[in-house]
Amino acid sequence: MATSTLKQLTRLLKKLDSETTQIELLELGEKIELPVQALRILATYLEYTSKGKPVALIPVPTELTTQAAADLIGCSRPHLIKLLDKEEIPFTKVGKHRRVKLEDVVEYKKKLKARQKKYLSKIMSADEADGLYDS
């Protein structure tokens, strides 16, 4: 259901040019006005859930604890601390505790994914050159 709803919603969102729109709740026979951005968030939610991926909605801007930042990146807290100490991700200190901005964690994660894709591509190219994909 999520996949078909996503396709419909994506198609309709392309046609919208205003900042708000009305939707009708058929069961209740009521219409409500929604920001189009809320529908875009719903589309993103449907995109991920249709693939079986979990979704978390976090208010922005926000500062994260080191544990929350590590969870978002998918690494251990000690590894995240090493990244912070190497200044790979900016942070602030509140007393003795480090805080990391969500947008900095997201940016690091994007860079990490890009690096992983680059390395994977190099490995695949080397494997192709060595004939590992030949039948």
3-state SS track over 63-79: EECHHHHHHHHCCCHHH
**C-beta separation of 13 from 40 below 8 A:** yes
Q: What pLDDT was estimated at residue 20?
A: 93
Q: What pLDDT was estimated at residue 129?
A: 83
Q: pLDDT confidence of 33, banded at 50, 70, 90?
A: very high
Asked whether residue 3 carries a pLDDT value surpassing 90, the answer given is no
Q: What pLDDT was estimated at residue 60?
A: 65
Asked whether residue 57 carries a pLDDT value surpassing 90, the answer given is no
Q: What pLDDT was estimated at residue 45?
A: 92
Average pLDDT, the chain: 91
Asked whether residue 61 carries a pLDDT value surpassing 70, the answer given is no
CB-count exposure of residue 102 (10 Å: 0-12, 13-18, 19+): middle
Q: What pLDDT was estimated at residue 135?
A: 63
Q: What pLDDT was estimated at residue 6?
A: 87
Q: What is the mean pLDDT of residues 103-110?
A: 95
**C-beta separation of 16 from 50 below 8 A:** no
Asked whether residue 38 carries a pLDDT value surpassing 80, the answer given is yes
Asked whether residue 29 carries a pLDDT value surpassing 80, the answer given is yes
Domains of the chain by residue range: 2-50, 63-129
